[in-house]
Structure 1
Amino acid sequence: MDKTVERNVGIDVEISAKSNKVKGSIGELSGYAIKFNKPSVAEAPFTEYIMSTALDHVDISKVLILYDHNYANVLGRVDAGTLELNVDNIGLKFKVQVPDTSLGRDVYANVKAGNLKGMSFGFTVAEGGDSWKQTRPKPTRFINQIKKVSEISIVSLPAYDDTSVNVTRDVDAFKHYKEQNYRQKVKYYLDHI
């Protein structure tokens, strides 16, 4: 029987209040749930790396995004069209349309405030899909092939610091930021002539 393992990773979150958002969504969160070839945090009894081959041939069409690995706290899912997952050379990138629910609003606000800064994922390793190396001060595990990713989660304590979750900003917000920044620079310059 396969044992599902959970791994937490750090995240940088982007939040968006896009006008063209999915109906029932308050905004968008995006980032990386898994980053390849990055070590797990020091507190674990071993160091773990998810290798760039780990997601080869893995079906990610039914993955959910949860809050804190709790299946009662669903924020989105691939097969509903509210979660988008893509594997690239960095890792497993996600984009979720956060639902307008009390959980969605709470998670969104906590990510935006910087209170939630971690991602985690639940997975099973394929048979023979990992290898170990005896290193000091503790052993190192390499996950070469994952059998299944069941969920990704936004969490408070990540096992991998390199993951990211970001609040996605829309074009209008970016234009406003650039305009405000430009005005501040001009004002500073004029004040100091």
Structure 2
Amino acid sequence: MKNKEIRNLSLSEVQYRNSDNQNFVGVISGYAVVFNKASQNLGGFIEYIEPTAFDGVDMSDVVALYDHDFANVLGRTSADTLKLTIDERGLYFELNIPDTTVGRDVYTNIRAGNLQGMSFGFTVVSDSWQNGSDGVAIRQVDSIGQLFEVSVVTMPAYQDTNVEAIRSLRMVADKQKMLLLLDVYEKENAE
């Protein structure tokens, strides 16, 4: 893993929802990687990820973490608590946040807007470099070898990624039922 790289991404479009499953506090989703979008300056270079960079990458056992810490596991593709799909925009994820201390803290901080970034840990098979017009090198990642993890982080390197907590339809329906029952109760007690 000596060639493992980590990139942080912005969570500009947060989606979250409460979960119908008692083992989870909620679900977050968004883009952990975006294609053809510039990273922040990563210490002398700016990076772009090609849309074909994930071709052939095995994503059957990728973990979702908080701040790249393997002690703070939030989900895993092999456990079906993390789903990863590639589309024209990038690497989309949906994560069932576990009902754990770190899970509740991460979920609450995403909803509050305190956590605003995604990151990913990976190895590179092939890339290309060129000099930018401003003197900052530009790296194009053409092929990723392995994707180890995606992480919810505080400071992103890519501003175009996002995460959202999505409110469940069941929760909305339950709230509507509760309001209806409250209305009926108030009418009965007003008489």
> What is the TM-score with the length of structure 1 in the denominator?
0.84
Higher strand share: 2
- Report the alpha carbon displacement of residue 43 of structure 1 after superposing the two structures with TM: 5.9
Alignment root-mean-square deviation, CA: 1.9
Q: What SS class does the counterpart of residue 78 from structure 2 fall into?
A: helix
TM-score of the aligned structures, taking structure 2 as reference length? 0.85
For the residues of structure 2 that align with 1:43 and 1:51, how far apart are their CA atoms? Answer: 17
**Alignment CA distance shift 1:144-1:174 (3 Å):** farther
User: What is aligned with 2:153?
Assistant: 155
**Structure 2 Cα separation of the partners of residues 92 and 34 of structure 1:** 5
Deviates more, 1:138-147 or 1:5-14: 5-14
* Residue aligning to 1:73: 72
1:131 aligned onto 2:128: yes
CA distance in structure 2 between the partners assigned to 1:171 and 1:77 by the alignment: 24
Once the two structures are TM-superposed, the CA of residue 51 in structure 1 deviates from its matched residue by 0.7
Distance apart, 1:173 and its partner CA: 6.1
Q: CA deviation at 1:44?
A: 3.7
2:181 maps to which residue?
A: none
Match of 2:28 in 1: 29
Query: Where do 5+ consecutive residues of structure 1 fail to align?
Result: 177-193
Question: Which whole-Å CA distance do the structure 2 matches of 1:95 and 1:51 have between them?
Answer: 22
| Superimposed CA distance per residue, residues 119-165 of structure 1 (whole angstroms, 9 cap, x where no aligned partner) | 00000001xx1000111320100001000000000000000000111
Unaligned runs of 5+ in 2: 175-191
1:81-136 Cα distance to aligned partner (Å, 9 max, x none)? 1101101111100001000000000000000000000000000001xx10001113
Rg larger for: 2
Match of 2:140 in 1: 142
Q: Give the number of aligned pairs.
A: 173
